[in-house]
Structure 1
Amino acid sequence: VLKRPLLICPPWINKFYILDLNPQKSFIRWAVEQGHTVFVISWINPDERHGTKSWEAYIREGLQYGLDTIEKATGEKDVNAVGYCVGGTLLAAALALMAQEGDHRIKSATFFTTQVDFTYAGDLKVFVDEEQVAAVEKAMNEKGYLDGTKMATAFNMLRSGDLIWPYVVNNYMRGKDPLPFDLLYWNADSTRMGAANHSFYLRNCYLENRLSQGMMELAGRVVSLKDVTIPVYNLAAKEDHIAPALSVFLGSKYFGGEVDYVMAGSGHIAGVVNPPAAQKYHYWTGGKPGGDFDQWIAEATNHPGSWWPHWQRWVEAKDNTRVPARKPGKHMKTLGDAPGTYVKVRV
């Protein structure tokens, strides 16, 4: 296996198993088959106990705790990291903070449909202005969290033609039961948002765009993405309405090191969860991001199929040192079988 373990930081807006949905679609299973020792953060579904947990807490008790756990389990300090959507935004901010603090355990970062600059932040911006954020904060502060059903409804409203009306017509009007579909099950498996965490995200990212501007404050420090000098693989999805490909592209210029920008076909989920065996979609590679987005697309090379093997080659090019396969849980107490208990908490 690869000497460097892989730490995945998924979004807490949904549950992590989108990357392990079934044996055929599982990015995690595929990564294990390529020789990665995979660790994934399963965020707790927050309740009133977690209302004051800040972004710093998510970094300390999530990402850095994950790095500590990896070292205990494998003996390795050097790690490759992946962040998906808001999990990627947290990872980027954490890397900027950790660079200032001298924590250099993450040696490469991969971002799946992640925004660090929110100038062109997609359809969710229709729900984010001062008045709406203040209303959300008022509702959250009463209980310490935002109900998961409210987040799920907001996302579904953005694609109501796909996610609401077909089910109204078929189920309510025609009396037909919906067909079982793993992706829709995951989509409906919503999570609550902790008050302090969600408020920080909405204000610092969507409203004030502080991360890319070098103005975000974490742990008493003002952090800058220019301090993130490790190699970055920045994956966008062509039809993404949550983290638009243009937004991800423009965000690339704020990092301080080498950034490889790759654009996958399809959208926010299917563009990421695209196993090579399915032989679906395309992906595009090209020059360094930093110029005009339309020009980058015009000059980019189109590749059929999944971007996963391209990413694997990128990771191996950074460090392909191999060690004997590890036995998961050998040095750690096992709390239970995957997927764990947190994902089984229903809203």
Structure 2
Amino acid sequence: MSEISGTEAHASIPAAQVRDASGTVPAGVRGRTMADVGHPRRPRPSQAKQHDFATALSAHADPLDQAAQATLASLTGGLSPASMALALLDWSMHVGLAPGKCLDLAMRASHAWSSAPTRDDAAPPDTLPAADATGDPRFADAAWSHWPYCVWRDGFLRVQRWWRDATTGVPGVSRHHEDMVSFGARQWLDAWSPSNFVALNPLVLQTAVRTGGANFAAGARHWLEDAEEIACALRGKQAVRDRGYRPGYELAITPGRVVWRNALCELLQYTPTTTRVACEPIFIVPSWIMKYYILDLQPHNSLIRYLVGAGFTVFAVSWRNPDAADRELTLGDYLKLGVLEPLAYVRERCERLPVHAVGYCLGGTLLAIAAAALARDGAPDALRSITLLAAQTDFSAPGELGLFIDASALAALDALMWRQGYLDGAQMAAAFQLLNARDLIWSRMMSEYLLGRRSKPSDLMAWNADATRMPYRMHIEYLTRLLLNNDLAEGRYCVDGRPVALSDIAVPAFVVGTERDHVSPWRSVYKLNLLTHNELTFVLTAGGHNGGIVSEPGHVGRYYRCATRVPDAPYRSRHDFVEHTAPVEGSWWPCWAAWLHAHSRGDTGARRVDTGLADAPGSYVLQP
């Protein structure tokens, strides 16, 4: 398929892309009017000088704006100060126009501080609870119930609750600005939590006494190691700290071969471990934001190895890590080179049978687009089923990730990526860390820098640190057309110049959402029920965006809910789904494997992988 096109596509392409080969807007395009074209006239010498000067200024205005915005964005991590300023202005003006809200906040503040605990209210040492009753993990240690630590803790929590009330429910404030102000207030307050300060944290003081201050020495060493690692990342060098997990050695070691390759991805086929396999193969499209082996970590928690052992022929896409030379790659290129071409090759290797297509995160969004395009173009034999893992198709409610997406934020991000040619993985990771700053930033800093405890390396942490880059044009198209404009769900997304509709998908679907997903909130994932009429099985599983998917059998504390909608059945609300679908203890993987077998046409002899371009995991996944 060719590049994405159509009226809507052209309308959403940023102005920064209308440039010549040097990256400058052509002087003949800017500064001209219809009068200049329709009535050519030689100006007087003085007018000519003024015209030349104005044209020169106009020609350099856009690159100057881009350079200024890119510099500012590099200092703010790609965030837009103007966007937050507009949100603060909206909130503050409407608070000033709401005397009832102000009176309510004043009464709440008075009541909160009048009920502050005294020394007599502190719990006796022999009756201290084993865990903090507030549910905040920062204050889980029983020592926080001693005076004066309980005063600092409770005072902080009161302030936190007051600001939550102050930043929400203000009449007239737009929902986006309310969310931004509430988020910003929470981030600011988290930085001032008493748990972050040596003199206010009883656990840190006790550890310092017990170790003779060795925890501070260890924390300083950890800080220097992390600073060196960040400096290496900023210079584009490999991380200096060895986490003990490497793809091809400890991770991504399910046997297989690279059987096909193009300029954007490699296709891996895995060696069967059963004598019989399902007739239809499984074709996996992972997200290009991170490397594919989130689905092939260690043998005990590898989803790919589990599928192979469950009697399937498994193929998986491994994306190449793009660089500045790939700045003009589009979403259409990812669709064609990363889904449709490898899908065609999988079918060629497997007797032209339809496939069970699986997409994870953005890979699932791209797979949904491909499935809709194939259905529109009359290719019903290409897919047997689709499975979407934590993948959004309707972005009208993207959760807290939407805080970073508006016109101002995209202008800043566009300028930053225009300069670099891509969005670096570390820059993307910083945004995700902000979404859960309490656990990913402040709690980690307290543990590693104040207590001197280095987090134990894990396979998931090593994968998370193995970041990738996103090409400039592709990422801007994704942010603008899908996340900001929601073109796919609203029928404006074009492939080959014609719109695609998710309602055209007729094959059965298996859709997984996770309860604590900050990236693809399950309530947003569930909206596919409103956009399709086919058979759809929805699973809501415990865990977050990654942990809920990497949820192998035997994983402690896992459970899931599963319900199937028959074709053309009435819509069932999210509330009804949760209320009337009983949780099932354990991993959702066996449920999915049984579903795949039930939707296959029997079995066949195992497909051997005797030859290939290279052994799995291939070369693309090893690119820094």
- TM norm structure 2: 0.53
Residue 153 of structure 1 aligns to a residue whose secondary structure is helix
Q: Give the C-alpha shift of residue 282 in structure 1.
A: 0.7
The amino acid across from 1:99 in the alignment is A
Structure 1 contact 5–76 (Cα < 8 Å) conserved: no
Task: Tell me the distance in 1 between the aligned counterparts of 2:384 and 2:331.
Answer: 22
Cα distance in structure 2, aligned partners of 1:190 and 1:261: 30
Higher mean alpha-carbon deviation, 163-172 vs 112-121, is at: 163-172
Among 68, 75, 86, the residue aligned to 2:344: 68
Larger radius of gyration: 2
Pair 1:20–1:287, CA change in 2 (3 A): closer
Matching residue within 570, 586, 592 for 1:305: 586
- SS of the counterpart of 2:603? coil
Correspondence 1:222 to 2:499: yes
Q: Which runs of 4+ in 1 moved over 4 A?
A: none
Alignment partner of 1:278: what SS? coil
Question: Does the 8 Å contact 1:6/1:39 carry over to 2?
Answer: yes
What secondary structure is seen at the aligned counterpart in 2 of 1:267? coil
Q: Which residue of 2 aligns with 1:316?
A: 597
SS at match of 2:397: coil
> C-alpha distance in 1, partners of 2:327/2:533?
34
Matching of residue 57 in structure 1 with residue 333 in structure 2: yes
CA distance in structure 2 between the partners assigned to 1:13 and 1:256 by the alignment: 30
Report the residue type matching 1:143 in the other structure. Answer: Q
- 2:535 touches 2:564 (CA, 8 Å); kept in 1? no
> Which whole-Å deviations, capped at 9, do the CAs of 1:12-33 have from their partners, x for residues lacking one?
1111100011111100000000
1:339 match: 617
Cα distance in 2 between the residues matched to 1:173 and 1:238 = 31
Structure 1 position 72, deviation (Å): 3.8
Aligned length: 343
How far does residue 340 in structure 1 lie from its aligned partner after superposition?
Answer: 1.6
Where 1:120 maps in the other structure, the secondary structure is coil
Mapped to 2, the partners of 1:142 and 1:329 lie a distance apart of 45
- Tell me what 1:20 maps to: 296
Partner residue in 2 for 1:233? 510
Structure 2 CA distance for aligned equivalents of residues 185 and 9 of structure 1:
21
Correspondences of 1:180-329 after superposition (within 5 Å): 180-278=457-555, 280-286=557-563, 288=565, 290-329=571-610
Amino acid at match of 1:338: A
Q: After superposition, what is the alpha-carbon deviation per residue over 1:7-55, rounded to whole angstroms, capped at 9, x for unaligned?
A: 0010011111000111111000000001111111111111123211111
Distance, in Å, in 2 between the alignment partners of 1:328 and 1:264 is: 34
Change (3 A) 1:341 1:164: farther
Structure with the larger RCO, 1 or 2 (CA within 8 Å, 6+ apart):
1
Percent identity, aligned pairs only, is 37
Q: Secondary structure of the residue that 1:243 maps to in structure 2? A: coil
Q: For 1:235, what is the secondary structure of its paired residue?
A: strand
**Distance in 2 of aligned mates of 1:166 and 1:181:** 18
For the 8 Å contact 1:10–1:85, the answer to whether it is kept is yes
The Cα of 1:287 is off from its aligned counterpart by 5.4
Deviation at 1:209, TM superposition (A): 0.8
Amino acid at match of 2:614: G
Q: Distance in 2 between matches of 1:141 and 1:329?
A: 44
Q: What is the RMSD of the two structures over their aligned residues, measured on CA atoms?
A: 1.7
Asked if the contact 1:88–1:111 (Cα under 8 Å) also holds between the matched residues in 2, the reply is yes
1:120-199 map, 5 Å: 120-199=397-476
Ranges in structure 2 where 5+ consecutive residues have no aligned partner: 1-276
Counterpart residue identity of residue 265, structure 1:
A
What are the superposed Cα offsets for residues 213-272 of structure 1, whole Å, 9 maximum, x if unpaired? 111122211111111111111111112121111111122221241111111111111111
Deviations 1:152-177 (A, max 9, x none): 11111212222223432343344444
**How many Å separate the matches in 2 of 1:320 and 1:283?**
27
Mapped contact 1:14–1:191 kept (Cα < 8 A)? yes
8 Å contact kept, 1:237–1:271: yes
Segment drifting more, 267-276 vs 26-35: 267-276
